[in-house]
Structure 1
Amino acid sequence: MARADAAAKALLEKFSLDKPPIDPYGLAKQLGATVVPQNLASDVSGMLLRNDGQQVIGINQTHTKNRRKFTVAHELGHLLLHRGRPLILDSDLRINYRDSVSSMATDREEIEANRFAAALLAPEAMVRASAARVSAPSADDLVDALAREFEISAQAMSFRLMNLGIISGSGR
């Protein structure tokens, strides 16, 4: 099991979360992180600021509810898995941004944070159980039904189902 998957599973177990939807905002609070909606550039989904033992997750308030939810989960991945990247300022501040670069998932830490977010919001065991229970005439219908159940975007659910080998692809 990949480190990101194991960390997401451990977090779900720690807080006894065993059914969807998963609330990353509540988890952030339980981990001592404050989530703050921000006016950010349209290509920036969020950021994680760590300074003096405090953690603040800034999320782009103009993005959709599902995208903000994924962003919080993504930033929790950084919080739990990565020390953070230094930002050159006058203080010892560390920052991670979720932006157009991170969404392309070309950086190892960004790939890992995306994987953590997917495993947190759509845990494999829950997804498999739901997929077996749902009667859907097509892959797109399955994606839509599970996206509603897990309260994530259809695009995120489609990727999750493909990555878990439950569907081979969809028309999206």
Structure 2
Amino acid sequence: MARSDAAARALLTQFGIDDAPIDPRLIAEKLGVLVVPQDMPDDVSGMLMRRGDEQVIGVNQKHHENRQRFTMAHELGHLKLHRGRPLILDTDTRVNFRDTVSSMATDREEMEANRFAAALLAPEAMVRRAARDAEFRTAKQLVHLMAGRFGMSEMAMNYRLINLGIIADPTPTP
């Protein structure tokens, strides 16, 4: 099991969460992390700021609710897995941004945070159980059903189902 998956599973276990949809805002609150909706440029989904014991997740409030949920989970991944990157400010604040570059997942930390977010919002056991119990005829229907069940975009659920080996190929998403 990848480090990202194990960290997500540990967090769900820590808070006794065993049913979807998972609420990443509630998890953040339980960890003492303030979540702040903000106006951000369209290509920035969110950011994590840490200074000492204070942690704040900023989320682009203009983005769709499902994208905001994934962004919160992604930033929680950075919190649990990564030390953060320095931002040049006149303070000792460390910031992780989630933007169009990070969402392409070409950087190891960004890939880990994306994997953590998927594992947090759509835990493997829950996804397998829901897929087994779902009534569908096509992979596209399954993706649509599962995206609604887990509060994720169809694109994110598509990748999750592929990564879990439940479907073989990407399905067209709106």
TM-score bin, normalised by smaller chain: over 0.9
Residue 172 of structure 2 aligns with an amino acid whose one-letter code is G
Unpaired stretches in structure 2, ≥5 consecutive residues = none
Partner residue in 2 for 1:2 = 2
Distance in 2, matches of 1:53 and 1:16, equals 24
Q: Any idea what the Cα deviations from partners look like across 1:87-121, whole Å, max 9, x if unmatched? A: 11111110000001100100110000000000000
1:69 & 1:76 partners in 2: Cα distance? 11
The corresponding residue for 2:83 is 83
Q: Distance in 2 between matches of 1:148 and 1:66?
A: 9
C-alpha distance after superposition, 1:42-91 (max 9, x if no partner): 10000000012100000001000000000000000001110100111111
Give secondary structure in 2 for the equivalent of 1:135: coil
Deviates most, 86-95 or 23-32: 86-95
Q: Number of residue pairs matched?
A: 172
Q: CA deviation at 1:156?
A: 0.8
1:1-172 alignment, distance < 5 Å: 1-169=1-169, 170-172=171-173
Distance 1:113 1:159 in 2: 14
SS across alignment from 1:132? helix
Matched residues in 1 for 2:163 and 2:7: separation? 18
The one-letter code matched in structure 1 to 2:167 is I
Which whole-Å CA distance do the structure 2 matches of 1:107 and 1:159 have between them? Answer: 17
Structure 1: how far apart are the matches of 2:19 and 2:61? 27
Instruction: Provide TM-score, normalisation by structure 2.
Output: 0.97
Distance 2:30 2:172 in 1: 38
Q: Return the alpha-carbon distance in structure 2 between the equivalents of residues 52 and 20 of structure 1.
A: 32
C-alpha displacement at 1:171, in angstroms?
3.0
Using structure 1 for the length normalisation, give the TM-score: 0.98
Q: Structure 1: which 5+ runs fail to align?
A: none
Letter in structure 2 aligned against 1:43: D
* Structure 1 outlier segments of 4+, above 2 Å: none
SS of residue paired to 2:20: coil
CA RMSD across the alignment? 0.7
3-state SS in 1 of match to 2:79: helix
In the aligned structure 1, how far is the partner of 2:145 from the partner of 2:152? 11
3-state SS of 1:46 partner: strand
Q: Distance in 1 between matches of 2:45 and 2:111?
A: 15
For residues 149 and 90 of structure 1, what CA distance do their matches in structure 2 show?
Answer: 44
Q: What is the aligned-residue identity percentage?
A: 62
